[in-house]
Structure 1
């Protein structure tokens, strides 16, 4: 790598400036993305076409001096490969034609064959790595078993998690069966991305924060730990850093750090200095500017970037990011202001 600042920070090694990448850095806030999305026909067509996924992945790197590229895909590719009928409803987001809500429906699920049903993802990874040509590291990702299960059982987004929590409390054995299938699927999926060239991977646990502390450990964290333990090294034998991100996971940082992961992603509801005090130098920390800060004026963005950097302090192991993804209404110039502020202020 000619530019390995991100990988060094994830390994808690010294860097010349704090690396920065953004969740959803490729997406709807960029006009070039919206144009390509219209040409592609649908969001799924974008995800399932390696050439288009490569192009979307590279778009933000042409605009901003980001320290990492993240594969353009979706966390719900695995349930789609299981035959649940993923589709997207305008104004509502992802939905499934065939949600699973009973033990009998869960018993019929199988771990998908990655090459047969998800081969477009490692194909995109190989293409992106070729296009990056060693200039920027590539991050692969997957959804956590709990988060995937939430969408699969609810059938789409939810405000009260009625169906998934009813299943969890009324039929815990079936819930564990579903999570076991998903954990094995996610591990195989991430290993396929690693074999294809992903140089770091992140597990997105978007809905872990809706659980009680006991339920989080039993139904979310335990399965993420299984995945971490099953991940392969890169083809050249080097260890691939693993980032765990639980939205709302502030109460459980110590337990998350004990999984064997290399870094924790933080949302914006905890100060990064408090997080570092709690986990020490056991893992790197990623985050954690409020995504809504990108609606602010550039000078205010800069001040808040400075605050996050100051709170983390002059220690190795910080990757700057938002506390969640870039939203569609953000002005790209404000993203540029953030990236420039991170590099300039941290280098000082």
Structure 2
């Protein structure tokens, strides 16, 4: 078993710096594209054997040190009453957006085992039969889920979401309560099924200023992460968001094990904030298209800063883009392993 990922988070000395890539399962892989031509994302995730196979693909192709479960952050929203469809080239589109307290009241509690048995079976297959690396389970954070539910789909400015947060805190808090309960149940079920670690994606929370985050979002995240750490103290929890440099000084106060960085904030800058947690990141995905000497120079800089911090997991500063060359990802993984080998 290659347990480098967990070893690093625990503060022990791993055999090399662990590597994995957000959105590593799917996107740019030829085998995945072949499968995706036949099935939608939701159709894949409802077939445990196929979903497990796709989850394992990048482990085999890239030799990464962790797998992340193939699914979408929208997965738990369907069972609670959200009418969502993932449209190619657009993303999640929601037919019944949240506009009122009545809309929030209609959301049901999540019954993971009753509504998402295929996810539980996928995790079981991976952890009991298929993987020799840790499996990372994941979910969307309440703000990011709420942003889709309120906007009705992707947004560039999250105006409706921020307006509700500021102008209707009663509706906002009611929605946060529902999504917090759902997230605790959803992530807890993944851990009970066998996930070795959890990553929470608050992808779009960078749209909120620090003061609003501290009052309207931080307490919910503290409750989610604190509950998970109380129930499953041995399972590491990571948080990642885009454009969240202004929030890192708050994130360091959360009971997180790992803080993921996008490419806008360097590992050295985050470390200088006094963050004690493991830092994860943060090669700009744009570098995947550069000549190898340029990629290598940027990797070296990130690894040097990670070494100075003490606990570092190599990753991208956002997800793998569809146009990325799988051979480049494979070469990056091999290079990080080679130059950090103990």
TM over 0.5: yes
Q: Which runs of 5+ in 2 are unaligned?
A: none
Give the aligned partner of residue 210 of structure 2.
Answer: 213
Query: Which of 132, 138, 149 is 1:141 aligned to?
Result: 138
Deviation at 1:61, TM superposition (A): 1.1
Give the aligned partner of residue 31 of structure 1.
Answer: 30
1:121-132 → structure 2 map (5 Å cutoff) = 121-132=119-130
Give the aligned partner of residue 325 of structure 2.
Answer: 331
1:1-348 → structure 2 map (5 Å cutoff) = 2-40=1-39, 42-133=40-131, 135-231=132-228, 239-280=234-275, 282-314=276-308, 316-347=310-341
- TM-score, normalised with respect to structure 1: 0.94
* Partner SS, residue 77 of structure 1: coil
Q: In the alignment, is the contact (CA less than 8 A) between 1:18 and 1:320 conserved in 2? A: yes
Q: In the alignment, is the contact (CA less than 8 A) between 2:268 and 2:309 conserved in 1? A: no
Q: Distance in 2 between matches of 1:246 and 1:110?
A: 27
Q: Deviations for 1:209-241, whole angstroms, at most 9, x for unmatched residues?
A: 00011112233332221111111678xx76100
RMSD after superposition:
1.6
- TM-score, normalised with respect to structure 2: 0.96
Deviation at 1:154, TM superposition (A): 0.7
* Partner SS, residue 87 of structure 1: strand
Q: Distance in 1 between matches of 2:316 and 2:63?
A: 16
* Partner SS, residue 78 of structure 2: helix
Q: Which runs of 5+ in 1 are unaligned?
A: none
Q: In the alignment, is the contact (CA less than 8 A) between 1:13 and 1:316 conserved in 2? A: no
